[in-house]
Structure 1
Amino acid sequence: MGNNYCHKHHKDKEDHKRRASFADFEFYTLTPNVSVDNRFELPVNTETTVASVTVEQVKAGDLVWLNGVFGLDNDDNDPREIEMRVYKGTPPVIIPGQEIYLARIDIDGENDGDQIVAPLAHVDEIAENDRNVTYTVTVRPDGDEVYLNGPVTLTAALIKR
């Protein structure tokens, strides 16, 4: 039985490989995309949009593969928690509780692991045909002296099945 399962799984996997193809690739990056002195302080307990991309001509059954990295810096002596969310909608609609992705990221206090690059990875299966779909990333720190400080990159790959 185990051998048949493995063979079927491998065959299904091969079928998916033949049917899927990349149809669109969109990205957002900071310019320059490095840690710099003119970083942006994030408002306390406020969701702030940090990146957005729009994928065009999506159809039901397509996949959108989102990847990103976000440089964050905590200059306070106390650790901070940042909530990173991804919202889906055109035009962008930021309604807490309606996100398609939520991650809680801990940053240590100043001089103790206080600069991090937080990753994001998510696959969104498209439920209905749509002309354009916008994905918006927000961050919300639970305290002051938290900065967006590069690199910042968000990518979206449309995969047709």
Structure 2
Amino acid sequence: MSFHNNKVEIEQFKFETPENSRNTGEVISMDDQEPTQVAEIIYDCLEPGNLIWLNSIFHIDTTEEVTVNYKILKNKDEIYSSITELDSDDEIGQIFSQQTVDMITKLEKDVTYKVVCDTNTPMVNLSGPINFTDTRFVEDKKFF
């Protein structure tokens, strides 16, 4: 698919951050099967040809050596993942940033994108600011 010489509509959508994750110092899960939800974005409908650019930033507070697994999920499927290992010399308030693009190939309804994380160390705290934004690029959208 090429966007060369095509009209492209860019839409910005609001995002929802779970109430228990708003800079409260919530302890991050140590269970990779039940990770901590950092933020989510919900779409009612995505159409073939849409490109969804997701960009997430969050922080943690720790002075321990720690491994943090963080992912972006589309519904329950992983579309981005990364692992970061911090040693005790890293600064408190480590920033985690992730970006990915989801290319939509078929009509999809009720799509939820989530940022989740887990760790191998007890008492690692999620911290703000938390930011999860997306941009939808729509190919060949007619403008009037």
TM-score of the two chains, using structure 2 as the length reference:
0.80
**Cα contact 1:55–1:158 (8 A) shared by 2:** no
Root-mean-square deviation over aligned CA pairs: 2.4
Question: Any idea what the Cα deviations from partners look like across 1:73-124, whole Å, max 9, x if unmatched?
Answer: 1243xx21111111112xxx3xxxx411001122232x64232111111110
Unaligned runs of 5+ in 1: 1-11
- Return the structure number with greater helix share: 1
What are the ranges of 5 or more consecutive residues in structure 2 without an aligned counterpart? 140-144
Instruction: State yes or no: 1:123 paired with 2:101.
Output: yes
Change (3 A) 1:39 1:150: same
Given the alignment of the two structures, is residue 82 of structure 1 paired with residue 68 of structure 2, yes or no?
Answer: yes
Verify: 1:28 aligned to 2:16, yes or no: yes
Q: How far, CA to CA, are the matches of 1:57 and 1:30 in structure 2?
A: 22
- 2-side partners of 1:107 and 1:30: how far apart? 26
Amino acid at match of 2:28: L
Code of the aligned partner of 2:39? A
Query: How far apart are 1:29 and its partner, in Å?
Result: 4.8
Q: Give 1:51 shift.
A: 0.8
| Contact 1:66-1:157 at 8 Å conserved across structures | yes
Q: Shift of residue 143 of structure 1?
A: 1.2
TM-score by length of 1: 0.72
1:57 equivalent in structure 2: 45
- Answer yes or no: is the 8 Å Cα contact 1:64–1:125 preserved in 2: yes
Number of equivalences: 135
The Cα shift of 1:13 comes to 6.3
Alignment partners' CA distance in 2, 1:107 and 1:139:
15
Segment drifting more, 98-107 vs 117-126: 98-107
Equivalent pairs: percent with the same residue?
A: 23
Query: 1:157 offset after TM fit, Å?
Result: 1.6
